[in-house]
Every structure is written in structure tokens, then in C-alpha cells.
Structure 1
Amino acid sequence: MRRKQKRLLQAVGLALAALVFLPNVGLWALYRERQPEGGPGGAAAGGEAQGSHVRKRKEVYFDDGQRKKDWHDKEAIRRDLECTGNGEQGKPYPMTDAEQVDQAYRENGFNIFVSDKISLNRSLPDIRHPNCNNKLYLEKLPNTSVIIPFHNEGWSSLLRTVHSILNRSPPELIAEIVLVDDFSDREHLKKRLEDYMAQFPNVRILRTKKREGLIRTRMLGASVAIGDVITFLDSHCEANVNWLPPLLDRIARNRKTIVCPMIDVIDHDHFGYETQAGDAMRGAFDWEMYYKRIPIPPELQKPDSSDPFESPVMAGGLFAVDRKWFWELGGYDAGLEIWGGEQYEISFKVWMCGGRMEDIPCSRVGHIYRKYVPYKVPTGVSLARIRNIGTGLCADTKHGTLGSPLRLETCVKGRGEAAWNNIQVFTFSWREDIRPGDPQHTKKFCFDAISHSSPVTLYDCHGMKGNQLWRYRKDKTLYHPVSSSCMDCSESDRKIFMNTCNPSSPTQQWIFEHTNSTVLEKFNRNLDL
């Protein structure tokens, strides 16, 4: 009896030992698997090469079976931290009075004198959320074709864009960089650019045969892309630390995700690099279709603010998309001119077709926001310079303040596109009003008239037609349906006012220069003129 009890106790003891010991064997094996060789619990000798340690430490297995790694290039980051000089670490360049002259901005809309004095390989501050340093991304990521359209871009700003991509991207993830020249006429962008880029085997240059505008130029680049993913960037950007893997990781997990980096600001004067006000915010738009950035609602905020978050619409210029998914969406509407509005088209199609839009806080790219648009806009957009037939003078918004009357001034000639754009360009909008400025930089003032004899003033655009509704009639008069009168002017005091319509009066006849006839027809829709 005692012998049986003894055997029973031994069996129970062995069972208990197995329950305690065997699970820990499994945990120990898992621990060993996740340790770098040569590290704590590793089998490698302490003398193993340091490079191997770094490589092994980046590899981790997760429960979903997908292998991840740390994509940071620690050596490149260390080198950047040691850089000193003009603009290094993204610091503002100390400008002199001689470097702030108008000529510095005229060709590019930013200070090219300063840009030329900053290294093409300049270092940038790592202003990401600290948690980004510890994030791991899929070991197997798709490669990408980076599409960079440009038109008469500055030499140093274009090259700095390319260098920043090459310097801060894992080489195996860059299938190619495609520079698409939209009919530039500056000499430095011809053979000189081709000779320079010949040193980079994965950079190629395409050229349009006529001025196409941003959208069709992007489409040309996308049509020849060989990468799994298409990444669109502007030609005056600077990619920051580890910018690419966070974008490609999200697409690798869901090919119907379009991802955008955080867009930082490179100052157009001194080229200082800093985050946008408010930093991580969602894209949105108001009832007038103006793009805005708004705070993320508290209920949608992530516990870790460095994690990706959904956004209704993107800013438009900088994003990555699965190449096949881009064409499944139909690409861009090729009828879009120059730029502006394309971000809504893509964003709406993504949501309607079962995709998603995400902003990625751990991916950051700096962008120069121009002081003004420096290049000529070809025929085909809804822009006009409004010239009076009777006086030969042009409508002008030189004073351009709320409530100020519209006046006539000598038509600007030979003073550069900056002056022309600022005071004598107007936009016909789908709201059937007329606004100063080009579609991207138009002020929120509209031509406004309250009666058949009132002056024409600039007033806050309300989008409700009424006092701000205009028609351009076949007799070249600008008709105001609310007051049943036409825009008139006085050569003596250069005032613009409303008057009883008289098609035979030359001071009531206006020429709209540089305007797409199709846009004008849409502007006059639903009215037999």
C-alpha cells in the first residue's frame, strides 16, 4: 500500500514539474529567438563584427508571422548631426540686404540667392515624435518610383530635392526617380541637368513636348513608372529622416491606402526648416472648396500620436499610392489644368472606391511654399486679365482691401509675372463670381455691386451669387443680373461702376485675356447671351 502511495506521489510530482518546466522551456526558446546573436542569451562570441550586431538587432518576429525591422540608417543620421555650415540642421540662413532684393524671388517665387548658398546635401533636424525612433516596419516593402514634375525650377532647389531622396531613402526601396520636365525653357534644365543626373543610374528625365501643367505632367511620369508604388513629390522639397518606410509599410498592408507625409515648411526667404502650425492635423475643405487643416477630433485621436491617422482629403502635392491602384482609380482627370483641385478628385475617388487616406506622422518632408507663382500660366485655365476696350486700361486690385473700389490702371507689361499675378489677374469661379488672384492664391474678395449705379467693390466672397453674380455677354459687356446693369468705367478718374447697359458704349466693353473659352462658357451657363 505504501509502495503504491509512493508511486502515486512520484507521478504527481513529475506532472507538476512538467507543468512548471515545459512552458518555461518554450518561453526561453522564444526569448532566445528574439535576441540578437552575441547579445544577452545569444550564442555568438563577443568578438562578432559590430555591423552584424546592428543587422541582427533590427530583425524581430511578431505573432502575425510578418518579419519587421528597423529601417533607420544610423550612420547617415550620425553624419548629418556633425554637419555645420549655411542652412545646416535646417537653420535659417543669415540674410543680408543684398540677398533680399526682388530679383532673388522673381524667377522661382523663393530666394534663389539663398538656396544657391546652401549645400545640396544639407542636414535637417529630426522633428518627428520621439516614438518614431523605435518603430519597426515590414522587412519586405514594395519599391517605389518617385515622380517629380517641374517647370523652370531653380537649379539648387531641384537638385536638393533629388539629393535628399537619395541620401535618406534605403536604396533597395527606390526603383527610380523620374524627373518630368513640363516644357521648361531655362538652359540649366537642359543638357546641364542631363549631364549632372547621369551620375545617378536610377534617375531619368522625361520631357513634355508642350506646356501641359502639373496634372498631365504627373500622369506622364506615372505612365512610365516601374515601381510597385508611385510617390509624387514637388520639385522644391527635402525628404527627412527615414521618411519612406513608414509610407510603404501602410501600402504593403493595404494596397488601397493612399498615404501622405507630414509636410514641413521650408521658408521661402531664409530656408529655415520647421513644422507647420498645429503639426499633425487632418485635411479638410470649406463650402468654397478651400483646403484647410483642422485638429483631429478627441474621439479619433490615437493613444500614440505618432501612429497613422485617417484624413478626409490630402493637401495634394506629396503622397504615395500603389501603382496599380492609382490606375484602377483612373489616375487624374487629364482635363485638369496647371494645378489646384486635383487633391479633391483623387481623395473622393479613393473613398468611393473602398480605399482610405492616411497621414503618417513618422514620415516628414519639407516643402518650400512660394512667395508667389513665378511662371506664366498658359492658355487653358480660368484666369484673365480684364482690359477695358474704351480706355485700354486694365482692372486692378492694387489696393485690394475689403470694401475698396475696383479701379483702372495701366496694363502691366514687362514687369515680371509677380506683379501681373498680384494685381491684374482674376479667376472665374464655378460660383459664377470673379475673384482676384490665381486659383491657388486667390484672395477671398469678390467683385460686388449693390445697385444699378453703385461702384464695383471688393467684398468678402459669400458664394450665394446675388450681388456677386456676373455674366460675360456676347457683346463683351459684364452683366450684373441682380441690378440689371453693366460694368462701366470712367477714363478721367479711372473709376469702375455700374450703369444702364449700353452695348454700343466702348467703356462698357471688356476683353478677358488668357482665358479658356470652355471655362467662360461654363461661367455663363444657363443664360442665353
Structure 2
Amino acid sequence: MRYSHYINVVRLLIFLIIGAVLFLLVNQWIYTREALEGLEIELIQKTPYWQRSHKRELKDWHDVEAMASDAARNGLGEHGKPAYITNLSKRKLDHDLSKKNGFNALLSDMISVNRSLPDIRDQGCQRLKYFADLPTVSIIIPFYNEHFSALVRSVHSIINRTPAELIKEIILVDDFSDVSNLKKPLDEYVEENFPKVEIIRFRKRQGLIAARLAGAVKAVADVLVFMDSHVEVNYNWLPPLLHEIVLNKRTAVCPMIDVIEDATFEYTAQDEGARGAFDWILDYKRLPLLESAKKNRTKPFENPIMAGGLFAISREWFWELDGYDDGLDIWGGEQYELSFKIWMCGGRLLDVPCSRVGHIFRSDNWNGVSEDRKEDYLHKNYKRVAEVWMDDYKNYLYKHARGIYEKLDAGDLTKQLALREKLHCKSFKWFIENVAFDLVKTYPPKGTTDFAYGQVRSVGAPKFCLDTLGRPDYRIVGVKDCEATSIFPSRRQDWSLSEDHDLRMRGEEYCLQTADHKPDSQVLLYDCSYGNKNQLWYYNRRRKWLVYGPKRLFCLEARPASKHVVVNRCRTNFPLMQWDFVHVNDTLLDTYFETMP
């Protein structure tokens, strides 16, 4: 009996020991599994997106709940409707703030930073699905003296209309602002409202390009998204952009840019879309959509040149292209440099119609931003871009602005030229013929085949030459003492009878025109407008007349006493209606009427 009892006790002890061991083993296994899973998650998060395997499942990324909440909102400026200040006592403050900021800053303060927007996408966009597994983004927003409410509204709109799991970080780069509420008040606001936002502050003014580069260096996400500091993103704006980058990591993508009206904050579409381009003074221009893009309003389309303020690009591809040229100063030319690099070095640039972002376009009475630079940084930037990327086409740019680029030192271009060679980038001729194939036809290079150029000297008063009188914008022209250098005078006496059949400041976009076609009409400088019949001029070599207008009834006449010029009915044997061009291309002038626009 007693022996049997001991046996039972021993069995119980063995059972308890085995149970304890099993318990410990199971707990250790669970702990190890959790640790390994945590390590696996951490490794996945640290491994670049394109080095991981991905499922190609599709997902509807719309935040239906947030969209329904927005639909129920009421208030000033909600749903992107125009808003107005009715208090007369605030109108003066409104005017002053608008001149300072380029938009109605007082109204901006009155509109909610979380306001709702109209969904103006094509209806087909609402049905589209995108990859469920998308890369994360670092959103980089440079700012300089941006109005506080416009800046924080930009960030609120991003957070409100972007899937949280896609935002790794938002980096604000302060380019040495001197507005007090962009210092400690902004820091406190960010700390209270935006856990994913970090602010980088410069200790001196460095400009937009340097600010973007600083943000890109700091960024850690798979994709970089560059934005301006006065925007509002629309519904489901990010997944369509990322989807295209996933398909090809050497793709840079731009959203459609909508208009936030500067005076009323009304949110509207800019148009049905266009393709970016440039003219031969490197002003940003637009090309019409191709028929394929018009037929499918939801499909991304190729874009030769980005507008520059809003785009996304994989971090890996951005740095493979060496980012922006760090020799570019302040702003200007960076969108051309990056667009050329993307296309010529093996990538592509797309506009994505189902991604829409509103942008405040500043008013014409904006005072602008003063830049602490003594040198002409804008044309220096253009020259750097032209010397590295535009090959022989750079001469069109230089001939358009003769006398400007010759004096500018573009600086050391060794690194940029080495990059182009290293990446085996294509020629600019390839870019023009294959990417921007309709650019030359739409914006033909000017100043390369002038009918005549140089000083225009009066025969009847030979000491006087046609002169801008130092006022080259919408002002009266006249005659002044001829400068000593006749073929290459200063810009005020340098004229061309251009291939567009206008009489313009040589290599520039100011053309001679009268306000009407009456006798004694004064001659003024206007913006050149290709095909404008009121800007047609012809040089009659035999009579030495500068003949004006499509009917060729009027001629340019000098008035030496008043130093004016006018147009009057053409008269023979009247020296004050006769002019000598320093250089006339006789062969080309023979074809003048064959090439009339």
C-alpha cells in the first residue's frame, strides 16, 4: 500500500517536471518566433522597396469615410468654393497682405486649414485600383517667408488625403525665413499636430534648389515627393503616382496641377492638361495633348518637361542622376536640367491625370522675393544647363539673348559632364526628335535666320538711329544718336527683321507695333505674338522703306526734332522715311513673301 503511494507521488512529480519543461519550451518558442517576426518586419522596413518581392494585388485606396466627412462640411471656402471678405474695414489689410504674399492671405487665415475640396477628377479615376503594396514617401516642402496658414494648410491636406502607411515623413525646409510666426510658433504647431513632420532650418538664404537637395539628403523613404508650400492635394492623389513608379523605378511622375485662385481661393481645373515645353529663352511653355491622351483621360501620358514644383521620383533614381546640379543657384533652370537628365539618361517623365494637386498661382501685383545675389544667377543657371545638356542647340539660346551669356561664367561643369558620360546619356537632338518632337514647330528658334539685323539708321537724319529710349516694355520708341558699334550695338539699338516677319529687339520678345493704323501713329514695343498681323514689317531695299502692316500702306518715319518715330502713308523721295539696316540678308529677303505667316 505504502509502496503504491510512493509510485503515484513519483509519477506526479515526473508529470509536473515534464509539464514545466514543456511550458518553458513553448514560451521560448513563442518568444523566439515573435522576436524573429519583429526582426523580419524591421528588416523589411529597412530594405529598399525594389529589393523586396511584391505581390501584384490591386486595391481601391479611396478613403471613403474621409470623403464622406468632407462632403458634410460647411463653411467659408469649403468644397473649394470662392470666398470673399465682406468686412470693409479689413479690405486695406487684405490689399497689403496680398501684395506681400501674392494671394489673399487674410482670407487664407479665415478659411479652415482642413477645408474640403471638390473631386474634379475624371469619373473613370474613381473606379481605378492601384497596387496594394506601394513604396513609402518622403514629402519635401521648401519654404521661404510663406504665409503661415497657407503652409500649414498644405501639410494638413497631405495628411488628411494620404494613406498614413505611405507617409514615412514630411520634411519642411526653411530657407532662412525672417517672419516671426515661422519660427517658434511653427515649431509648436508642428509638435502638437504633425508627428511625422520635421523642420530643417538654413542659417543663411540658399534658395529653392539647395532646399530641395537638403530635404532629399535627409529623406529615407523609397520615393521622394517634392511640393511647393502653398498647395492642397486632392482625393487619392498619391497612389496613382506611386503605381507608375512601381512599374518602372526610372519613371518620374507629376500630378495634374489645379488652380487655387489667389483672390478667392476657389479651386478649379487649370485645363484638360498639356505637355510641358520651353521656348528658346527657356521660358516654360506648354504643348497640346496628343490625341491618345485626349481619348483616354485617365491614362498617364509622356511629358517632355515638368513644371518643376510638384513631382515624385524614386530616391534611388534621383541620386543615380546625382539629384539637382548643386551649381544651380537660388532657382531657375532646375526643371529643365532634371527633365533632360530623366529622358536622356534612360528614364521617362509622366503626367498622371488621376492625381490632382491644387496650387496657389500668385497674383500679378505680388512684390516678389528679393534675392541677395549681385550676379545674374538665373542666366548663369540656364548656361550651366545648356552647356551640359543642350549640345549645339544651346546656340539658339545664346543667339536669342546675345550679349548676356557671353559675359557669364557657367562655373565648373566637370562633375555634370562626367555624369552624362557615365550614364551613357543620349544627345539633345534625340530628345528634340523623339520626346519633344513638336516643340520646334510650335516654338521655332528665333534670331537664327533674320532678314536683316543691327542698327537701323535714318537716311534723312544720319546721326540718328532707331532706339528703345531705354524703355523696352509697352513704351514708345524713337530715335537717338547712333552708337559707335553698328553691327553689335547695345540692346536698345539692336534690331532684327526676324523670320517671323516682325521688327523686334534682336534676340528678344519685344516687337514694334502701333496702337492703330491711322496717320502719325506712334510706334510702341509690345510682347511679340507670332502671326499677329499688327506686327508685320517689310524692308523695301530699293526705296529703303520699313513698311508696316499687312496692306503695306504705311512706312516708318523719323521725327528728329522731337526724337519720335511714327508711321504715315509711304512717300517716295522723302529721306525721313528711308532707313539703312547695317546687315541685310539679300538671299533670305528674296523669299520674304513666300514665308509670310
Instruction: State TM-score, norm by structure 1.
Output: 0.63
Structure 2 counterpart of 1:339, from 331, 343, 360: 331
Does structure 1 conserve the Cα–Cα contact (< 8 Å) formed by 2:232 and 2:358?
yes
C-alpha deviation, 1:431, in angstroms: 1.6
Q: Would you say 1:456 and 2:468 are equivalent positions? A: yes
> What does residue 254 of structure 2 align with?
260
SS at match of 2:467: coil
> What does residue 239 of structure 1 align with?
233
Structure 1 counterpart of 2:109, from 112, 116, 120: 116
Q: Would you say 1:88 and 2:78 are equivalent positions? A: yes
Structure 2 distance, partners of 1:184, 1:479, is: 48
Q: Percent identity?
A: 50
Larger deviation: 91-100 or 104-113? 91-100
SS at match of 1:161: helix
Structure 2 distance, partners of 1:105, 1:252, is: 41
Structure 2 distance, partners of 1:429, 1:216, is: 30
SS at match of 1:66: coil
> What does residue 516 of structure 1 align with?
none
C-alpha deviation, 1:373, in angstroms: 5.1
Summarize the alignment of residues 94-133 of structure 1 with structure 2, pairs less than 5 Å apart.
94-96=84-86, 98-99=90-91, 101-133=94-126
Task: Give the AA of the match of 2:153.
Answer: R
| Pair 1:460–1:175, CA change in 2 (3 A) | same
> What does residue 326 of structure 1 align with?
318
C-alpha deviation, 1:455, in angstroms: 3.2
Summarize the alignment of residues 192-207 of structure 1 with structure 2, pairs less than 5 Å apart.
192-199=185-192, 200-207=194-201
Task: Give the AA of the match of 2:362.
Answer: R
C-alpha deviation, 1:484, in angstroms: 4.7
| Pair 1:152–1:66, CA change in 2 (3 A) | same
> What does residue 305 of structure 1 align with?
297
SS at match of 1:215: helix
SS at match of 1:107: helix
> What does residue 66 of structure 2 align with?
76
Does structure 2 conserve the Cα–Cα contact (< 8 Å) formed by 1:479 and 1:486?
no
Structure 1 distance, partners of 2:155, 2:484, is: 50
CA deviation string 1:475-510 (max 9, x = no partner):
xxx99653657979xxxxxxxxxxxxxxxxxxxxxx
SS at match of 1:176: strand
CA deviation string 1:133-185 (max 9, x = no partner):
11000000000000000000001000000000000000000000000000001
CA deviation string 1:30-64 (max 9, x = no partner):
xxxxxxxxxxxxxxxxxxxxxxxxxxxxxxxxxx9
Task: Give the AA of the match of 2:220.
Answer: I
Structure 2 counterpart of 1:151, from 141, 144, 165: 144
C-alpha deviation, 1:322, in angstroms: 0.2
CA deviation string 1:3-25 (max 9, x = no partner):
xxxxxxxxxxxxxxxxxxxxxxx
Task: Give the AA of the match of 2:219.
Answer: A
Structure 1 distance, partners of 2:399, 2:327, is: 16
SS at match of 2:110: coil
Summarize the alignment of residues 501-512 of structure 1 with structure 2, pairs less than 5 Å apart.
none
Structure 2 counterpart of 1:248, from 228, 232, 242: 242
CA deviation string 1:282-302 (max 9, x = no partner):
11122232212222122x336
Does structure 2 conserve the Cα–Cα contact (< 8 Å) formed by 1:480 and 1:486?
no
C-alpha deviation, 1:99, in angstroms: 3.0
C-alpha deviation, 1:382, in angstroms: 1.9
Structure 2 distance, partners of 1:102, 1:71, is: 41
Structure 1 distance, partners of 2:241, 2:67, is: 19
Does structure 2 conserve the Cα–Cα contact (< 8 Å) formed by 1:258 and 1:357?
yes
SS at match of 1:320: strand
1 or 2, which has the higher helix percentage? Answer: 2
Structure 1 distance, partners of 2:99, 2:132, is: 46
Structure 1 distance, partners of 2:491, 2:286, is: 39
Does structure 2 conserve the Cα–Cα contact (< 8 Å) formed by 1:87 and 1:272?
yes
> What does residue 35 of structure 1 align with?
none
Structure 1 counterpart of 2:359, from 356, 367, 381: 367
Does structure 2 conserve the Cα–Cα contact (< 8 Å) formed by 1:282 and 1:295?
yes
Structure 1 distance, partners of 2:342, 2:249, is: 11
Task: Give the AA of the match of 1:125.
Answer: P
| Pair 1:220–1:72, CA change in 2 (3 A) | same
Structure 1 counterpart of 2:401, from 426, 431, 437: 431
| Pair 1:106–1:484, CA change in 2 (3 A) | closer
Does structure 2 conserve the Cα–Cα contact (< 8 Å) formed by 1:90 and 1:272?
yes
| Pair 1:381–1:271, CA change in 2 (3 A) | farther
Q: Would you say 1:220 and 2:214 are equivalent positions? A: yes
Q: Would you say 1:210 and 2:204 are equivalent positions? A: yes
C-alpha deviation, 1:95, in angstroms: 3.2
| Pair 1:485–1:369, CA change in 2 (3 A) | closer
Does structure 1 conserve the Cα–Cα contact (< 8 Å) formed by 2:280 and 2:400?
no
| Pair 1:78–1:291, CA change in 2 (3 A) | same
CA RMSD of aligned residues (A): 2.9
SS at match of 2:101: coil
Gaps of 5+ in 2: 1-53, 379-397, 405-446, 448-453, 458-463, 478-482, 494-597
| Pair 1:321–1:483, CA change in 2 (3 A) | closer
Instruction: State TM-score, norm by structure 2.
Output: 0.56
CA deviation string 1:55-101 (max 9, x = no partner):
xxxxxxxxx96101000000000011111111000011123454365
Does structure 2 conserve the Cα–Cα contact (< 8 Å) formed by 1:182 and 1:211?
yes
Does structure 2 conserve the Cα–Cα contact (< 8 Å) formed by 1:107 and 1:375?
no
C-alpha deviation, 1:306, in angstroms: 0.8
Structure 2 distance, partners of 1:181, 1:479, is: 50
SS at match of 2:195: coil
SS at match of 1:312: coil
> What does residue 181 of structure 1 align with?
174
Summarize the alignment of residues 397-408 of structure 1 with structure 2, pairs less than 5 Å apart.
none
